[in-house]
Amino acid sequence: MTKRRLNKDPYNIVITGVGGQGNVMASRVLSNMMVHEGFRVTIGETFGMSQRGGSVMSHVRVSSKAVWSPQIPKGQADLIVALEPVEAIRVLADYGNPSVKVIVNLRPVYPVGVITGAEEYPSETVIRETVAALAAEVRFLAATDEAIRLGNPILGNIVMIGAVAGLGVLPIDRELFEKVIREGMPVSRVEANLRAFAIGETAAA
């Protein structure tokens, strides 16, 4: 029995980034929070390249009524959580719609082509303008920068999950997050994760 209701059922979330950013961990944490509240959750994951640096995308579908297929249909994302800014644009092109909400980590991860000078990476201004034009509501966060201040850049994924809570689109909060991570994480890592979540929650509120 669910304690709280969804704004839409199913609620479709795409979490996107590149290898090494903790994309899969973010999708699992968010899914565990929703399951804890009694919702039915399916996860589908795609990997552009298996090694660090390739595109990674997780589809998370949350429902109080049924178990849905793990693949979100094109154009039907309700929320896009982008751990890397250009990935936000790429996913918006396929899964966006006039009502989609987007949370973007502004720290770029440059592909090999950009590093070698063969390709050009868009400026932050272009990224902001493009995402804003394609989404109903956007939050831009310096999630990786905040995570580095906490001592571990991978915590950027938890900053982004905190931002989902701050945006208010899902029935999740800091108390629920703490319950979930205390069940599945070593005690030594709990405090840093709680701080990361709180930073994201405050930034997106």
Cα-trace Rg, the chain: 16
- Report residue 50 CA to chain centroid gap: 19
Residue range(s) defining the domain that contains residue 57 = 11-204
Question: Any idea which of 40-44, 114-118, 155-159, 196-200 has the lowest mean pLDDT?
Answer: 114-118
CA dist 9 and 16 (Å) reads 21
pLDDT the model gives residue 64: 93
Query: Which pLDDT band holds residue 12 (cuts at 50, 70, 90)?
Result: very high
- Tokens encoding 82: 């982008």
Q: Express each pLDDT in 159-189 by its tens digit.
A: 999 999 999 999 999 999 999 999 988 999 9
Domain assignment present for 179 = yes
CA dist 160 and 164 (Å) reads 6
Domain assignment present for 1 = no
pLDDT for 115 beyond 60: yes
Q: State mean pLDDT over 39-55.
A: 75
Domain assignment present for 52 = yes
Residue 166 near residue 125, CB atoms below 8 Å:
no
Q: State mean pLDDT over 28-35.
A: 96
Domain assignment present for 86 = yes
Structural domain count, the chain: 1
CATH number of the domain that 57 lies in?
A: 3.40.920.10
pLDDT the model gives residue 1: 40
CA dist 178 and 158 (Å) reads 12
CA dist 109 and 114 (Å) reads 10
